[in-house]
Structure 1
Amino acid sequence: MKLWISVLLWLCPLFLSAQTKITTLDKNSKAPISGVLVKIQGQANQVTDENGQVEIDLNNPGILTFLHISYETLSISAAPNESLTLELIPVITSLSEVIVTGFESERPLVHQAGAISKVLENELYRFNENSILSAFNTKPGIRVEQRAPASYRISIRGSSLRSPFGVRNVKVYWNDIPFTSPDGTTALNLLDLSNIQNAEIIKGPAGSIYGAGNGGVISMSSRKTVTENYLSADFGIGDFGLLRYRVGIDQKVGNGGISASYVSQKSDGYRQHSATDRQVFQLAMHTKPSDTQTLSAQILYSDLNYQIPGALNQAQVEVDRTQARPGSVAQNSSIAQKTIYGTLSHQIELGKKWDNSTALYMNNTDFENPFILDYKRETAFSYGGRTKFTFDDKWGSFPVKIIAGAEYQYGKTLAQNFGNRQGKADTIRFSDDLISTQAFIFQQFEIEWTSKVLMTLGLSENFGRYDINRSIDAGPNDPSNNTKNFDPIVIPRIALVYKVNQWSGIHGSISSGFSPPTIAEVRTNEGSINLDLEAERGVNYEAGYRGKFGIFNVDVTAFYFQLDQTITSYTNEQGVVLFRNAGQTDQKGIETSLDYVLVRNQNAFFQEIKLNHAFTGHYFSFGEYESGGNDFSGNQLTGVAPNTLVNILDVRTKPGFYLNFTHQYVDAIPLNDANTVFQESYNLIGGRAGWRTTLGSRWDVEAYGGVDNLLDEQYSLGNDLNAFANRYFQPAPGINFYGGMKIGLRY
């Protein structure tokens, strides 16, 4: 009898399904989550109970998908007889839940001392997926312009004043590594939207921890973990010949993973001679060598070609908005740029109190730019890195955090300018070897004087140098070696936060900033070398409040920024853009946002209805500014809209249908220092509607369509400032449509 009982007990599990017990918790609060829908491959769906638990009968390993309206979807592989505890990431409903790392201090946004905006992944994909422009422009204080389909200019609090083209006066990081070149410029157009998962934007000087750039800092990151084996494919089309497709794969390997993606995007463009062709490949590896270390490596290759239609005067705009500037087609005004970018990042915990993060990069670029007036070729190589040590402890009874580190960048470029004969390089005009060196050391001390008062003291010491060694000069000047040394600059910052409660805080700060001219501003396209151009210096005073009132999230910041030795652009009689220091500017402003969730119910037809409003008031003017016998003192700052307003509505339903609606108002913008020419105010309305769902537990499917500029406004998205021959305007498209599909497979 005992023998038969033993045999039955041994055989029993073979006839019964194995129980897999799963507990779901909120990642931030660790509280159990009830009502989580669990999709089980080949079986009926189940729901977690009031303790956040569910027991599932599994005969074989399978894929489980967890869905909840308030949390991000998660898929895992589960085996019979497992006991799992899963932490789901909340969908942001409160500013206190938004964690940001601005000023190298990871804290909830409500308790950060500074004007910081975060662009989340779902915000990037509310629009046409051909650029970052629309998503960034929903944030107060930020304006991304597009002079040609792949030519971006970023203005944070008016910082585009000195940027006739490209991204200047703003420091950009990608995966914690400097993406801004040592010469001070940033080729943001190398990145596809799929290379960015989210972004943080610091508005105003952040030199105490990030070095040069009065405009601020943009820190972007791609996906840093691989949670499942996943194949994905996207396909999108749109007006003006837009065709975009992407293929990607995520593969788990041990305790890390490998990701690879390829994106191709082509467009004929709205205007004559405005076609774009961009191919981007990204390969990333993430692993954990030990419990205290993480290691990441990435390769980014971008092959970008785009045509430059050029700016028009008002008469040309009225005749035909789509025409190119005369001469652009014949001279093949365009840019071809191939870049390979390799990175290596390492994080390690050095005991209970210390940790270190170090990132290195190498970059090689071939650049070719035929323009109406000349033909430029450059071959550039650069390398650099950033390291940071963090120490957490107590000073007596006061919690303290000390952050210290350094950043170094070196770049060498062979830059040659030729004549342009019908789009072909002609006789060489001048050739330079350009060497750029930028470095700084930073320290930051944080102390919590009480449970409610946090103080931050930051300081950086900055060094910079340009070497311009001219080996060929076909003009009247002899070849020469030129050096521009920037005196070591110390940049301090002090900030205070008062934690009103868990959901709100008051912040204030005084920060200094500086921005040296880029090497392209010192060495100009007509061959002159302006060694007298000085770095901009400024001081920013800022105060703000962030908090939650019921369903409302409020963020208000007021600031006053006084800038000395402001660098402005102008054009000579040949149309070449040149630069000069223009005295002083006074910049007063207010930036506010209000968002709220009207509906959030897992079981209702309308699962979520959200609204957001963002207002920017930038009341900027020149101080004492005289040039060419003209007095521009007191005029509005060129290129800055005094008022902008953004309104957003997002709707999501239980069957998977969604709607994203956006309205943007932009005030009149002065286009020259004399304030005699303006871009008229305009309203942009756009929307995206679609359907996304999970079929079974393996397939993710989405179909979408959208419209931009629904009112068919006639406006210029990227204006030329202080333009010669009154060529101020770069007309943007009227009403246009787009659509696409996405498919994902877990395997």
Structure 2
Amino acid sequence: MSLSLLVAPALSLLSSPLLAAEETLVVTATQDTISELDTPAAVSVVNGEEMRHAAPRINLSERLSGVPGLQVQNRQNYAQDLQLSVRGFGSRATYGVRGVRIYVDGIPATMPDGQGQTSNIDINSVESIEVLRGPFSVLYGNASGGVINVTTTTGTQPPTLEASTYYGSFGSWRNSVKATGATGDGTQAGDVDYTISASRFTTHGYRHHSSAQKNLANAKLGVRLNEASKLTLLLNSVDIDANDPGGLTEQEWRGNPQQAPRAEQYNTRKSTKQTQAGLRYDRQLSANDDLSVMAYAGVRETTQYQSIPVAPQLNPTHPGGVIELSRHYQGIDSRWTHRGNLLAVPVTFTTGLDYQTLSEKRKGYENFVAENGITLLGEKGDLRRNERNLMWNLDPYLQTAWQLTDKLSLDAGVRFSSVWFDSNDNYIIGKNGDDSGDASYHKWLPAAALKYALSDAWNIYTSAGRGFETPTINELSYRDGNLPGLNFALQPATSDTVEVGSKTRVGNSLLSAALFQTDTDNELVADQSSGGRTTYKNAAETRRRGIELSADSQPGYDWRVKMAWTYLDATYRSNACGTDDCTGNRIPGIARNMGYAALEYAPPEGFYAGTEVRYMSDIQANDENTATAPTYTVASLNSGYKLRFRERWMLDVWGRVDNLFDRVYVGSVIVNEGNNRYYEPAPGRNYGVGVNLSYTFL
């Protein structure tokens, strides 16, 4: 499945990643390959080889910094996942991903309520990662910032077996194996392709109480049923056990960024297990018609111990300091694509229906027990919460593409997004009353783009679209002031975006520019965060204005230069701070300027080397703009050697240094943290080495 849905309505879940000879980055489609140059939207594509090149292969933050408009930061906290936002949407998330839809091989890594996570993405298996910035896709719903679509490798002949290992600072180990291959060329009945990958990662962690271990497995098996249809089975499993070091005050960060005082006191930690499977059926009905159906199901279980003091939990309505979640999710997305002519104009129609459902059992326990008159913290105590939550959505959609003239094209579509939430409270004891309730949200989501080709190598476009973002189950779960019940006062956020852009190819360089403005009503923002628990509220109005520039060049066959710059002015247009008026303040968690530059010498074999520089301007940590994470610039170096021997073997030995100049900086912030513990420190200078060995069965 591809995310360039504005510009390729022919897209279906049968994505076969192709690489055009003249384009190093492409947007994939069922029948047609649309280059990044020809896409009338802000789209960036990072291929899998780039993701794995001299990299630990642990986090998306390692290689996505070169995408303009994408702010992705490693918290150094595997209990909370990466902090990821697109054009500032998602910056409020204290864990997981909000405001951005994430897909892996067509299976959402974002739940129906809009909460996503990246921990199940296997970098070893990635073929490409496409990032669409802005709400310009009607084939995806419940997101304002955009879409991140991950496509994994489809096995081909000849079969290849690969083993790799990485060792880095802070006792970090990653060991992986991968097998890919196929029988036949994939066009005949009975042809099979496969990709199987597994890895294990362990680390002591940069900070105290931040050790983690992660086991990840991913499999993709395709079977050609006949010349017109194919069936693909997708399996994924992840198992994470991680300590949670928590945030620090500014004084604590500057005094000792590695400390984790509350974490050690309460033994804060989180365990997550997720297993999912998907089945995709693709059929070419005729020369002009395609059908695609994707069905999937999964289960995710989470247990989290928080640093909430004993005293608040003595309140009979308090839900406790231990969270146990069991989630079962499933869905189906079916779509039909037709290509033809209408009034002598070439046109493509894609129509479909997307259904997702999520069933959650949520329990809360005290995070302490009393033994012989002594209170032991960090232990699961008495039950304080027990509820069953359901959320589901049903979204029909229609997307069209019109080739009006040789140079002018129009893409337009609409989606009607409906989301329902229902909660049944099963913990009704004494003063803890019945907190059951339900809510529903509905919104029309139109999008359109107009592209004009000034030449074969230069396109300009303008686009407009509407985004829709509901509160997640976790955001509905708590009310400010430790009040009981669900936060049904939260309303969905609606954003309207207009954008103009230009893309041109000069020699072997692709230059892109996008200018946009997004106005949002009822934006969901963090209200207060304390003890690992965050409450949320609606800000009446916000505005984002920005410029995104990028250049990707290959000045020589073995050389590559990549640069990106983002300016994003994100502000409150109304008061979101109560008595302290913060109209005009910057929205916290969002950098106003981001810069990236990389230079690589990377021949297919032999010696290679590269360097990267990342710049991040200061980030406000609270709505009042009284706490700030300072500006920083960090650099990295990598070098290695690739050796092919006996034709079948390839050995790649490499090393890298990150934060080369040992800068002291904040890696991410916890927005509106109630105890001023906003800061999650980044490590100083750190090192890593890796070895990759592959064997091809010629």
| TM-score, scaled relative to structure 2 | 0.90
Q: Secondary structure at the match of 1:252?
A: strand
Q: Secondary structure at the match of 2:63?
A: helix
CA-CA distance at 1:461 after TM superposition: 0.6
Q: Secondary structure at the match of 1:456?
A: strand
Alpha-carbon distance between aligned partners in 1 of 2:489 and 2:403, rounded to the nearest angstrom = 45
Q: Which residue number in structure 2 is paired with residue 415 of structure 1?
A: 362
CA deviations 1:26-77 (Å, max 9, x no partner) are xxxxxxxxxxxxxxxxxxxxxxxxxxxxxxxxxxxxxxxxxxxxxxxxxxxx
Q: Which moved more, 1:472-481 or 1:712-721?
A: 472-481
Alpha-carbon distance between aligned partners in 2 of 1:473 and 1:194, rounded to the nearest angstrom = 48
Q: Which residue number in structure 2 is paired with residue 513 of structure 1?
A: 467
Call closer, same or farther: CA 1:575–1:449 in 2, change over 3 Å: closer
Alpha-carbon distance between aligned partners in 1 of 2:356 and 2:422, rounded to the nearest angstrom = 14
Alpha-carbon distance between aligned partners in 2 of 1:737 and 1:575, rounded to the nearest angstrom = 30
- Contact 2:37/2:510, CA 8 A, preserved across alignment: no
Q: Which moved more, 1:494-503 or 1:612-621?
A: 494-503
CA-CA distance at 1:272 after TM superposition: 0.3
Q: Which residue number in structure 2 is paired with residue 402 of structure 1?
A: 349
Give runs of aligned pairs for residues 86-485 of structure 1, distance below 5 A: 94=23, 98-101=25-28, 106-126=33-53, 127-150=55-78, 151-206=81-136, 208-254=138-184, 255-324=191-260, 326-373=261-308, 374-421=321-368, 422-474=377-429, 476-485=431-440
Counterpart code for 1:133: S
- Contact 2:122/2:218, CA 8 A, preserved across alignment: no
CA-CA distance at 1:213 after TM superposition: 0.3
Q: Which residue number in structure 1 is paired with residue 578 of structure 2?
A: 628
Give runs of aligned pairs for residues 49-88 of structure 1, distance below 5 A: none
- Contact 1:429/1:473, CA 8 A, preserved across alignment: no
CA deviations 1:158-216 (Å, max 9, x no partner) are 11233122101111111022221123211211223224221111111135221110011
- Contact 2:306/2:532, CA 8 A, preserved across alignment: no
Residue segments in structure 2 that go unaligned for 5+ positions in a row = 1-16, 185-190, 309-320, 369-376
Aligned length: 649
Residue segments in structure 1 that go unaligned for 5+ positions in a row = 1-87, 601-607
Alpha-carbon distance between aligned partners in 2 of 1:583 and 1:170, rounded to the nearest angstrom = 21
Q: Which moved more, 1:533-542 or 1:244-253?
A: 244-253
Counterpart code for 1:156: V
Matched, 1:536 2:496: no
CA-CA distance at 1:447 after TM superposition: 0.7
CA-CA distance at 1:655 after TM superposition: 5.2
Alpha-carbon distance between aligned partners in 1 of 2:232 and 2:47, rounded to the nearest angstrom = 22
CA-CA distance at 1:573 after TM superposition: 7.3
Q: Secondary structure at the match of 1:629?
A: coil
Alpha-carbon distance between aligned partners in 2 of 1:493 and 1:271, rounded to the nearest angstrom = 45
Alpha-carbon distance between aligned partners in 1 of 2:49 and 2:573, rounded to the nearest angstrom = 41
Counterpart code for 1:351: S
Counterpart code for 1:491: L
CA deviations 1:469-519 (Å, max 9, x no partner) are 110045733124310111x21111111011222222111101111101101
The higher relative CO (CA closer than 8 Å, separation ≥ 6) is in 2
Alpha-carbon distance between aligned partners in 2 of 1:668 and 1:383, rounded to the nearest angstrom = 40
| TM-score, scaled relative to structure 1 | 0.84
Alpha-carbon distance between aligned partners in 1 of 2:140 and 2:57, rounded to the nearest angstrom = 29
Aligned counterpart for 1:744 among listed residues 690, 694, 697? 694
CA deviations 1:326-364 (Å, max 9, x no partner) are 321232211101111101111110011100111111101
Q: Name the Cα RMSD after superposition.
A: 2.0
- Contact 1:690/1:705, CA 8 A, preserved across alignment: yes
Counterpart code for 2:418: F
Q: Secondary structure at the match of 1:133?
A: helix
Alpha-carbon distance between aligned partners in 2 of 1:573 and 1:369, rounded to the nearest angstrom = 15
Alpha-carbon distance between aligned partners in 2 of 1:169 and 1:306, rounded to the nearest angstrom = 25
Alpha-carbon distance between aligned partners in 2 of 1:214 and 1:341, rounded to the nearest angstrom = 26
- Contact 1:595/1:611, CA 8 A, preserved across alignment: yes
CA-CA distance at 1:636 after TM superposition: 1.4
Alpha-carbon distance between aligned partners in 2 of 1:450 and 1:249, rounded to the nearest angstrom = 46
Alpha-carbon distance between aligned partners in 1 of 2:475 and 2:487, rounded to the nearest angstrom = 8
Call closer, same or farther: CA 1:671–1:103 in 2, change over 3 Å: farther
Q: Secondary structure at the match of 1:327?
A: helix
Counterpart code for 2:115: T
Alpha-carbon distance between aligned partners in 2 of 1:573 and 1:400, rounded to the nearest angstrom = 53
Call closer, same or farther: CA 1:575–1:168 in 2, change over 3 Å: closer
Q: Which residue number in structure 1 is paired with residue 373 of structure 2?
A: none
- Contact 2:90/2:100, CA 8 A, preserved across alignment: no
CA-CA distance at 1:552 after TM superposition: 3.1
CA deviations 1:541-578 (Å, max 9, x no partner) are 00000011234321000001101111110226777411
Q: Which residue number in structure 1 is paired with residue 10 of structure 2?
A: none
% same residue: 23
Alpha-carbon distance between aligned partners in 1 of 2:530 and 2:77, rounded to the nearest angstrom = 27
